[in-house]
């Protein structure tokens, strides 16, 4: 077990995760300027200092979103030229990135019933950050784990088993990555499961509301390593659906923000 020391006095931090559901500025389903502005207002009012985003389409989308709708924020991410990329955004007056985010476990493979698969189709994105006023550093793993869909698979039960098995292997892989850290580490994002079972790190649970309203469940989680929670920590969700996009009884974006407010971030813990 590591003995953790954080520099300087206790300080506050609010961290969040948000799957923005194929967030794009192009094409027929691209987000319009009013829709982007509404989501930017949600992010601002959340009070978050740093947010892990999932399902982003390329750097150009984030460049436009931040420059036009989130002045005073910075961003970095992993542009794979796809539609489900991972990004971080943060308040530039509070947080500083101290090294470029790095996709992890890119080459890891898993043998599932004789077939070799990539362990992560969407490799977790690791960032390292500094709280400017105190110089305190911490790391964040942004994750989007194996999905729930069985579309296109003739054997639905086998597809569900494969999804669950690969997702569990991914969670154990996140545990391996966490063991590399002796600094405060947050592991957060879309886990695509209501219970990240056998996770070798604790995750916080919402007391009220859901992060995925259509199924009335929470599949977006915030985990932590080398940190001792305090009694004033508050986990909550923030509704992010856009009325004009939410049709036929389905919400869009389909995930809500999950936000962890830590008014007094621990300055020392024995773990």
Question: CB–CB of 52/188 below 8 Å?
Answer: yes
Strands 11-23 and 50-56 turn out to be parallel
DSSP state of 213: G
Q: What is the pLDDT of residue 7?
A: 40
The mean per-residue pLDDT over the stretch 176-186 comes to 96
Out of 41-50, 108-117, 185-194, pick the least confident: 108-117
- 3-class state of residue 58 by DSSP: helix
Q: Which residue has the higher pLDDT, 141 or 7?
A: 141
Give residue 1's pLDDT band: very low, low, confident or very high (50, 70, 90).
Answer: very low
Question: CB–CB of 157/128 below 8 Å?
Answer: no
Query: Is the model's pLDDT at 267 over the cut of 80?
Result: no
pLDDT 10s digits, 186-236: 999 999 999 998 889 999 999 999 999 999 999 999 999 999 898 999 999
25/194 Cα distance (integer angstroms): 30
Q: What is the pLDDT of residue 9?
A: 46
The mean per-residue pLDDT over the stretch 22-35 comes to 94
Q: What is the pLDDT of residue 162?
A: 79
60/203 Cα distance (integer angstroms): 33
Mean pLDDT of the chain: 90
* All domains in the chain, ordered by first residue: 11-270 (3.60.10.10)
139/97 Cα distance (integer angstroms): 10
Token couple for 255: 């995930």
Cα of 88 vs its chain's centroid, Å: 8
Query: Is the model's pLDDT at 157 over the cut of 90?
Result: no
Query: Is the model's pLDDT at 2 over the cut of 50?
Result: no
Per the document, the length of the chain is 271
The mean per-residue pLDDT over the stretch 32-39 comes to 97
Distances, alpha carbon 62 to alpha carbons 12, 57, 187, 270, in Å: 26, 8, 22, 39
Token couple for 60: 């150009």
pLDDT 10s digits, 135-145: 899 999 999 99
Give residue 113's pLDDT band: very low, low, confident or very high (50, 70, 90).
Answer: confident
- 3-class state of residue 87 by DSSP: strand
Q: Which residue has the higher pLDDT, 271 or 233?
A: 233
The mean per-residue pLDDT over the stretch 60-71 comes to 97
Question: CB–CB of 74/89 below 8 Å?
Answer: yes
Cβ partners under 8 Å of residue 25, min gap 6: 31, 36, 57, 60, 61, 64, 65
Give residue 8's pLDDT band: very low, low, confident or very high (50, 70, 90).
Answer: very low
56/36 Cα distance (integer angstroms): 13
Question: CB–CB of 109/86 below 8 Å?
Answer: no
Max Cα–Cα distance, the chain, nearest Å: 57
- 3-class state of residue 102 by DSSP: strand
Site of tokens 């923005």? 20
Query: Is the model's pLDDT at 270 over the cut of 60?
Result: no
The mean per-residue pLDDT over the stretch 15-36 comes to 95
């Amino acid at each position: 077990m590591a003995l953790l020391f954080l520099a300087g006095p206790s300080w506050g931090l609010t961290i969040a995760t948000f799957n923005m559901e194929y967030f794009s500025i192009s094409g027929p389903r691209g987000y319009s300027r009013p829709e982007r502005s509404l989501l930017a207002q949600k992010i601002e009012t959340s009070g978050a200092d740093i947010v892990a985003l999932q399902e982003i389409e390329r750097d150009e989308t984030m460049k436009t979103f931040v420059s036009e709708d989130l002045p005073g924020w910075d961003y970095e991410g992993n542009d794979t030229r796809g539609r489900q990329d991972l990004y971080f955004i943060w308040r530039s007056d509070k947080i500083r990135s101290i090294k470029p985010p790095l996709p992890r476990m890119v080459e890891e493979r898993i043998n599932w019933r004789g077939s070799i698969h990539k362990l992560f189709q969407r490799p977790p994105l690791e960032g390292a950050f500094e709280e400017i006023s105190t110089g305190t550093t911490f790391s964040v793993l942004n994750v989007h784990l194996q999905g729930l869909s069985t579309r296109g698979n003739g054997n639905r039960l086998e597809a569900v088993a494969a999804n669950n098995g690969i997702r569990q292997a991914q969670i154990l892989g996140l545990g391996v990555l966490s063991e590399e850290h002796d600094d405060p580490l947050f592991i957060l994002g879309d886990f695509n499961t209501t219970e990240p079972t056998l996770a070798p790190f604790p995750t916080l649970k919402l007391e009220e509301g859901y992060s995925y309203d259509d199924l009335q469940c929470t599949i977006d989680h915030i985990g932590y390593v080398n940190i001792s929670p305090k009694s004033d920590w508050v986990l909550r969700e923030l509704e992010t659906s856009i009325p004009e996009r939410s049709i036929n009884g389905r919400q869009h974006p389909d995930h809500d923000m999950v936000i962890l407010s830590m008014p007094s971030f621990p300055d020392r813990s024995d773990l």
